[in-house]
Chain A
Amino acid sequence: MPMMTRDQYVESLRKLNLKVYMFGELIENPVDHPIIRPSMNSVAATYELAQMPEYEDLMTATSSLTGEKINRFTHLHQSTEDLVKKVKMLRLMGQTTASCFQRCVGLDAANAVFSTTFEIDKAYGTNYHQNFINYWKYIQEKDYTVDGAMTDPKGDRGLSPSQQADPDLYLRVVERRPDGIVVRGAKAHQTGIVNSHEVLVMPTIAMRPEDKDWAISFAVPSDTEGIFMIYGRQSCDTRKLEEGADIDLGNAQFGGHAALVIFDNVFVPKDRIFLDGETEFAGMLVERFAGYHRQSYGGCKVGVGDVLIGAAALAAEYNGVAKASHIKDKLIEMIHLNETLYSCGIACSCEGYKTKAGNYQIDLLLANVCKQNVTRYPYEITRLAEDIAGGLMVTMPSEKDFKAANIGPYIEKYLKGVAGVSTENRLRILRLIENITLGAAAVGYRTESMHGAGSPQAQRIMISRQGNLEHKKELAKKIAGIKEDKN
């Protein structure tokens, strides 16, 4: 099967035996659960758009492993052009779903594991790279969605994995067998895990020799025995359970999700292991994955930003203030901020380089600058969107009130905006702004922008390391005519 259709993807998920808990109960059918379904629709869109001629130039690529046409979400980047196309694809997906579409994390993990395993094998004579190639060929052929799992719960952040009071606070190897290993621990904030066929696990921080059992990377099917997921709550999530909910959802079709994933003594076969105890490579893997994922945000958040800017512009029109100069200026500012993020995503892609393994890595400094901006600009964009939308966005009555025979006409009358635009459409656009700025999609657009792919300080550390400050000092000395022998 070269590429799955949307329907094939949905059916493939039904065949999984996932253990997903929500509100204290095991979910019998995650695919059709009203809270989960919108997030599944977002991933399904990555399959749907790949089948459409209008988008295939971005959504598909030629596999470097098989020569087959594949979904770009499973591609190992072969050039800087591939890196650029990835950012553009993510922007397109953000525009299409106005949500986190979840599939980039597996793509980023794959590219990081591919290049790192090559270098581990060179140093240790291990077979991890071939293991990964075999695994990733399988993923490309099946066109599977893979959850890239990095973030451990971490317990006391001041202590290393081996120093934690509870050693399971970082996922670790608890048993080594001739045919594989048994792991225990958890991964937090797992975007898209419930919609994924596989989970590709990586360590979460650089490690020391004593952290050997925690320096582990592997992949298993997401319904492997011992794995279960506890679904993360989102703002306004239970609105999706309301009968006939539509307007009040803001975005009825798409969404995102994250979950806490428990690995309760999970067996990993030997050929699915990509790092096991080579502690000095944990940092390389983390840095490369984080770099790719920080690049990703220069695409996906921009696409969601496009929708939010459009919604703010429509709200201004529906409110009758579109011609006000301060409104125009705020929209310009939103576009400026959004395109700045995109510029960073494109820049770190254009400045990418070939790894020893042959795939392409982004420029780390520029990717970290990109993500650092992402921790700030979406907040300003949402602030401006709320400013333009007005307070009605959070005070307007519910959809049920609007549709009620006795009070609906009053809402229709008193919440009417400009002539030629229905009250319902005005409410719809305000609910979309609510959804992105403080509703379910704000998880992806705001807090994920802050902490996803690493919190702000993680980028500042990388910017400090990559910033080449010594060169800048030399430049200044030269211009100023400073001679060291005169000190």
Chain B
Amino acid sequence: MKLVGIKYCGGCNPKYDRAGFVQHLQEAFYQKEDFCHKDFKDQNGIRFEYAQAGVFYDVLIVVNGCERSCADTGTLSGNYFLNITSASELESAAGFLKNMTDIL
């Protein structure tokens, strides 16, 4: 089981729907009938959760609303930090996660 932490920036002036991005990202891993954006659950060898201090993540996905990338990750720790700044990074992020979790 790979643990993936989701960390958002504050969202003052985002250039895309950050929560929608995370939802689409999860859809790549969850069966539609199992999908639940708000209450994450284990699926296909991966577990998403909102990142919190004191937990070590296999992957931390830092979802910034723009290139400023101001999300505060100072208290977070993990093997890989995936910094997202636009909706166009969805495919590459999903691909990265799939490789990470050996699903493919």
Contact = CB atoms under 8 A, between A and B. Distances in A.
Interface residues on A, range: 10 to 19
Contacts of A91: 12-13
A89 interface: yes
Nearest to B10: A58
A57 B19 contact: no
A306 B13 contact: yes
A54 B9 CA distance: 7
B10 A57 contact: yes
Interface in B18-63: 18-19, 50
B77 to A, nearest CB: 17
Contacts of B6: 53
A58 B13 contact: no
B72 interface: yes
B71 interface: yes
A138 interface: no
A21 B72 CA distance: 44
Interface string A78-91: 00000001001101
Query: Which of A53, A56, A92 is the most central at the interface, judged by chain B CB atoms within 10 Å of its CB?
Result: A53
Interface string B7-19: 1111111000011
A interface, over-half SS: helix
Contacts of A453: none
B8 A92 contact: no
B11 A54 contact: yes
A91 B70 CA distance: 15
A89 B8 contact: no
B8 A57 contact: yes
A55 interface: yes
A59 B11 CA distance: 10
B15 to A, nearest CB: 13
Contacts of A55: 8, 10-11
Interface string A6-42: 0000000000000000000000000000000000000
Would you list the 10 A-B pairs with minimal beta carbon distance, nearest first?
A58-B10, A88-B12, A57-B10, A53-B50, A54-B8, A92-B12, A91-B12, A55-B11, A54-B19, A57-B9
Interface of A: 53-59, 85, 88-89, 91-92, 95, 306
29 contacts: A53-B50, A54-B8, A54-B11, A54-B19, A55-B8, A55-B10, A55-B11, A56-B8, A57-B8, A57-B10, A57-B11, A57-B70, A57-B71, A58-B10, A58-B11, A58-B12, A85-B10, A88-B10, A88-B12, A88-B13, A88-B70, A89-B10, A89-B12, A91-B12, A92-B11, A92-B12, A92-B13, A95-B13, A306-B13
Interface of B: 6-13, 18-19, 50, 70-72
